[in-house]
């Protein structure tokens, strides 16, 4: 019996955090809203569509956002409220399939190849989900429907906000061909720039590039890039996908100049990361340090261990060893981060340890 064509839906809430704030405070409706703090070191966590018209985007420094949009209204984030709405949304997803892969509070893949509730088509299910979300939360969602994750994600972006788009079987390669590679999920800005430097600007350019050449320039990721240029993506929807990392980072209110201040910040971050490990009963084998200078140049350093780290003191020692070669400081430090990857459960054998996946 032939394998059925997969039916994948990608649901993405529209300007989620900002939309929750506008819903809960009618005075914000129709106004440019940024979730975050308007202060010297603040960063925009989310922007309403009214704010996006002025060029305001998430992860943008708050002062730059204010310059772009003087009428911008900043509201502090309320993550408890966002998590509560996310739970409502995921309960709706669960009516149709157990195969749900959350990407964040407001975004998920659903595999409805074998749905729990029969409907005429995957598109009908996507429409029903969007209608239920709006009825229960008062918020809009965009949906993409296709036969793999990569195309479903592209489709949901295609008709935002509050839209639905379908890429049917056989149409993936043609749909991808004219699109800039920088719009592809899994190709970040740095990779897109490298591709542009090789003359790869669109999906058609990427398809024309031989796999051997892609492997030479992009290593293991080349097979993924080679596939998506042809509308091929065999990655499954991973329900209960295991966590890949635990980490914390902080952007300082004032740039740090003293090594003692940096060491204190390191201790705080290590304590937070280890508390997360204890809470989730996880440990890991690789420690990564991220340091960003005031001029936005960034350094990362990692160290891997043959066995999972057993306690906070070991994690702190590893972080200190990674930091030591970067001292004395030659430039002020804006951000410091510590993360732990290669996560394992207590007693989990080495063969079962999580490996990194393609984007």
Please identify every residue annotated as catalytic.
107
Residues 6+ positions from 187 with CB-CB distance below 8 Å: 181, 195, 225, 359
Phi and psi at 173, nearest 5°, equal: -60, -40
Bridge-based pairing of strands 298-304 and 333-341 is unpaired
User: Are 231 and 284 contacting, i.e. CB atoms less than 8 angstroms apart?
Assistant: no
Q: From the annotation, which residues make up the binding site? A: 12, 106
Neighbours of 313 (CB within 10 A): 11
Dist CA 34 CA 179 (whole Å): 29
Q: From the annotation, which residues make up the binding site for Mg(2+)? A: 12, 106
Residues 6+ positions from 224 with CB-CB distance below 8 Å: 186, 233, 358, 359
Residues 6+ positions from 325 with CB-CB distance below 8 Å: 301
Terminal-to-terminal C-alpha distance of the chain: 32
């Amino acid at each position: 019996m032939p394998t059925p064509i997969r039916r994948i839906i990608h649901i993405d809430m529209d300007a989620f955090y900002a939309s929750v704030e506008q819903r809960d405070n009618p005075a914000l409706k129709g106004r440019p809203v940024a979730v975050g703090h308007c202060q010297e070191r603040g960063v925009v966590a989310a922007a309403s569509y009214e704010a996006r018209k002025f060029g305001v985007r998430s992860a943008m420094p708050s002062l730059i956002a204010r310059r772009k949009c003087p009428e911008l209204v900043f509201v502090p984030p309320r993550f408890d409220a966002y998590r509560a709405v996310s739970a409502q949304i995921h309960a709706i997803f669960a009516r149709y399939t157990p195969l749900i892969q959350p990407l964040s509070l407001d975004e998920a893949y659903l595999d409805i190849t074998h749905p729990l509730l029969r409907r005429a088509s995957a598109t009908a299910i996507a429409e029903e989900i969007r209608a239920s979300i709006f009825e229960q939360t008062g918020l809009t969602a965009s949906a993409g429907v296709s036969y793999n994750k990569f195309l479903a994600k592209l489709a949901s972006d295609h008709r935002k906000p509050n839209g639905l788009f379908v890429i049917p079987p056989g149409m993936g390669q043609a749909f991808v061909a004219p699109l800039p590679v920088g719009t592809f999920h899994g190709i970040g800005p740095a990779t897109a720039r490298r591709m542009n430097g090789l003359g790869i600007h669109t999906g058609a350019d990427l398809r024309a590039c031989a796999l051997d050449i892609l492997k030479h320039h992009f290593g293991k990721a080349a097979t993924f890039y080679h596939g998506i240029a042809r509308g091929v993506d065999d990655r499954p929807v991973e329900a209960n996908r295991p966590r890949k990392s635990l980490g914390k980072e902080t952007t300082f209110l004032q740039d740090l100049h003293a090594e003692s201040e940096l060491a204190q910040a390191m201790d705080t971050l290590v304590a937070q990361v280890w508390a997360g490990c204890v809470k989730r009963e996880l440990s890991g084998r690789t420690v990564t340090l991220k340091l960003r200078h005031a001029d936005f140049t960034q350094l990362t350093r990692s160290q891997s261990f043959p066995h999972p780290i057993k306690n906070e003191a070991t994690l702190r020692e590893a972080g200190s060893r990674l930091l030591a070669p970067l001292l004395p400081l030659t430039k002020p430090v804006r951000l410091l981060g510590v993360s732990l990857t290669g996560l394992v459960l207590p007693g989990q054998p080495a063969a079962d340890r999580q490996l990194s996946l393609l984007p």
